[in-house]
């Protein structure tokens, strides 16, 4: 999608620090990290949010969670623990309208979030 920041990152029109890539998924470091490890995982397909998931496209979510498992191990946070966040819509704090999952770790994260 033309004016989508994450599509531009996927297409390498905007640089990012890549952590993982395959034919379906890109993972990169968040530009404004909230924790020592803060990685954003996106499908290459432009899906606007969790609201757009359905029987035809939702298998990407299982794939992303398997990738998160691998990334957590590589980043050394698998045993200490981590948090996966998907913000959806205005009240959910979604600022980029391309579905994505935040992987946060490397410190003790507070709960509940603000």
What are the angstrom distances between the C-alpha of 51 and each of 28, 94, 98?
23, 12, 11
Does 94 engage in binding with ligand 5GP (CB under 6 A)? yes
Q: Which window, 23-31, 55-63, 67-75, 106-114, contacts ligand 5GP (CB under 6 A)?
A: 23-31
Question: By CB under 6 A, which span of 48-56, 58-66, 92-100, 104-112 interacts with ligand 5GP?
Answer: 92-100
Q: What is the b/e burial string over 37-71, where b = at least 16 CB atoms within 10 angstroms of the residue's CB? A: bbbbbbbbebbbbbeebeeeeeebeeebeebbeeb
Residue 30 makes contact with ligand 5GP by CB under 6 A: yes
Half-sphere exposure of 13 (CA within 13 A, CB side): 9
Phi and psi at residue 46, in whole multiples of 5°? -80, 100
Residue 46 among the catalytic residues: no
- The interface with Zn ion within residues 11-70 (CB under 5 A) comprises 46
- Scan for tokens 């640089």, then name that residue: 15
* DSSP count for the chain of H helices, then E strands: 2, 5
Residue of 14, 22, 57, 65 that binds ligand 5GP (CB under 6 A)? 14
| Given 46, 91, 98, 100, the catalytic residue | 100
Which amino acids are annotated catalytic? Answer: 100
Q: What residues line the site for Zn ion (CB under 5 A)?
A: 1, 4, 6-7, 46, 98
Q: What residues line the site for ligand 5GP (CB under 6 A)?
A: 5, 14, 16, 28-32, 40, 87, 93-96
């Amino acid at each position: 999608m033309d004016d989508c920041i994450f599509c531009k990152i996927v297409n390498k029109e905007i640089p990012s620090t890549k952590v993982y890539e395959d034919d379906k998924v890109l993972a990169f470091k968040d530009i404004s990290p909230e924790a020592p490890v803060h990685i954003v995982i996106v499908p290459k397909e432009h899906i606007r949010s969790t609201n757009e998931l359905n029987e035809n496209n939702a298998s990407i979510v299982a794939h992303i969670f398997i990738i998160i498992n691998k990334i957590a191990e590589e980043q050394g946070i698998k045993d200490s623990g981590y948090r996966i966040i998907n913000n959806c819509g205005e009240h959910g704090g979604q600022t980029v309208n391309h579905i994505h999952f935040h992987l946060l770790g490397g410190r003790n994260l507070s709960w509940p979030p603000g």
